[in-house]
Structure 1
Amino acid sequence: MTAHFNHTIIASTDPGRMAAFYRDLLEAEEAPSWGPFTNLQIGGGVLLQFATPPMEFPPQHYAYLLDDAHFDRALALIRERGLEHWADPQRSQPGEINAEHGSRGVYLLDPSGHYLELITRPYL
């Protein structure tokens, strides 16, 4: 395989607030921003670009692979901030995490309403 994921634009109602949320949760690095984009960098050099689109946008799903220690810190932050979270994408198990696929996982919504999934092991 020669393709590598490089960047994505995440539609945001407030790009600065979104970047701060992701920076704290994912322990992302600041990156130079330009034009309408507020940028962060995560592992593998992947750039997350937050921008307000000129139209309504549907919520998206973004899954992030964290090591166990980072997952523990992220979960502690979620709980400390009183953020709603679920063990499942259907949001039927509030306040819980899951242990599927030999992993630990949790789902939550970001400030713009996108679905985030944090997992400790890849599915494949």
Structure 2
Amino acid sequence: MGRGIGPIRHEAAGGVDPQRLVKGFVFRLIPPRPDFAFTMTDAERSTMLEHMAYWTRLAEEGQVLAFGPVNDPSGPYGIGIVLADDPGTAELIRDADPAMASSHGFRTEIAPMLGVVTPNGRFDSR
């Protein structure tokens, strides 16, 4: 008790350098209006399908640990947990998202995680 947690390094096996530090980031995709999930236009739905394909590809590549819509009573939004080497890389992921490149008025909040634990290992926050 009282012992601080030191740096957590990636501990996955299989040829991955255990000293490589990876940061986790939480992405929150905020739609242009609170009822967006229920009132999408055809153009917005098309953009969301592109957005889903983009995030699915990132998940298949191992950059995204999880993503999906959150049914918050105050209004649904999207959430994603991303592994990136630095905030700049996280911002590049955001900027390439079809939802963010669209003219529909989405916003994204990105916050660094203090640490990330997955079935494949633990990742440092620094």
Larger Rg: 2
Higher relative contact order (CA 8 A, sep 6+): 2
Q: TM-score, normalised by structure 2?
A: 0.28
